[in-house]
Amino acid sequence: MSALAIPVHTPWWRSRGVRRFARHRLAIIGLVMITLLTFACIVGPYLLPYDSLYIDLRARFAPPLTGYHFLGTDPLGRDVAARLLEAGRISLLVGFFAMLLSTMIGTLIGVVAGYYRGAVGAGLMRVVDAFLSFPSIFLLLALAALLQPTPIMITIIIALTSWMEVARIVEAEVRSLRERDFVQASRMMGLSSAHIMFREILPNAIGPIIVAATLTVARAILLEAYVSFLGYGIQPPLPSWGNMLNGAQQYLSTAPWLAIIPGITITIAVTSFNFIGDGLRDALDVRSDHM
């Protein structure tokens, strides 16, 4: 029998999904902003003339663009630019790892609940409901007040209060995927449940998971800032965007840049991640292709 022609392979960067994402202007702006911010946080502290912990009491409350203090100085005369980037490292890392952890927990619970349904699924989803019924801010504050607020602990606490959304999304996705023929075919071949769940079904649910994960980063950064602002999060002298805001409270009228600069940075980071999330959602939704 003669071999049939196989269509030409299109590389992923020319695929429709990538094109749909590229059409989403806000998502591209978000992606550029996050890339710049991350790059600045990684490289910036080495390039700036001042260390973030260097105290210069003669130069207290210097407004932005004083000498080499591009963003001014704080009440102890520390360079705001250096602290902002140093804080960015911590805030972004906390956001990223909190997302990673919460996505993993949420995915695991969602896949198992969606695949087994019945008693197992119902049980797991009621746990999700129980977690959702706590006001997560108070849970977060209570836990942060009880435990040692190191960055790692804050990351874990944020993850524990934000995995439920991912779990719900994944559970719904898996429930519909498990009825598809290719899953039936896997069962017919005698593949184990674990194999079907994680190697056959999960890759097909990756789209919504990525979208949820991106939005979770934004949420986690915001939560960290919130808790640190209230003084229960990252403890000074370690800087974070949230505790920079906290320190700026009493100088709001005399040195407004101390609050405005980290505030703007948080806003940029959070909206950028949200834009990327929206862009990914459109890119992964085949129906938006009008074909």
Binding site for other proteins (CB under 8 A): 1-4, 6-7, 9, 180-182, 184-192, 195, 199-200, 203-204, 206, 290-291
Here the tokens at position 177 are: 């995927």
- Copy the structure tokens of residue 208: 């919504």
Q: Of 185 and 252, which has the nearer Cβ to other proteins? A: 185
Name which of 47 and 119 has its Cβ closer to other proteins.
119
**CA neighbor of 163 nearest in space, from 88, 108, 112:** 108
Instruction: Rank residues 1 and 57 by Cβ distance to other proteins and give the closer one.
Output: 1
Kindly state the smallest distance separating residue 24's Cβ from other proteins, in Å. 18
- For other proteins, give the closer residue by CB, 19 or 126: 19
User: What separation, in Å, do the N-terminal and C-terminal C-alpha atoms of the chain show?
Assistant: 35
Closest CB 30 distance from other proteins, rounded Å:
26
**Nearer Cβ to other proteins, position 119 or 189?**
189
Separation CA 267–CA 205 (nearest Å): 30
Amino acid at the residue 111: V
Cα maximum dimension of the chain:
87
Among 197, 154, 167, 198, which residue's Cα sits nearest to residue 105? 167
Instruction: Select from 200, 170, 203 the least CA-distant residue to 102.
Output: 170
As measured in angstroms, the least distance from the Cβ of 31 to other proteins is 24
| DSSP, residue by residue, 198-259 | IIIIGGGGHHHHHHHHHHHHHHHHHHHHHHHHTTSSSPTTS--HHHHHHHHGGGTTT-THHH
Looking up tokens 């797991």 gives: 124
Min CB(108)–other proteins separation in Å: 19
Nearer of residues 183 and 221 to other proteins, judged by Cβ = 183
The token pair that represents 170 in the structure block:
């994944």
Query: Looking at beta carbons only, is 47 or 189 nearer to other proteins?
Result: 189
Supply the minimum distance, in Å, between the C-beta of residue 101 and other proteins. Answer: 24
**Closest approach of Cβ 57 to other proteins, in Å?**
60
Q: Shortest gap between Cβ of 187 and other proteins (angstroms)? A: 6
| DSSP tag of 240 | -
Q: Which two tokens stand for residue 258?
A: 């101390």
CA distance 23 to 283: 9
How many Å apart are CA 163 and CA 55, to the nearest integer?
40
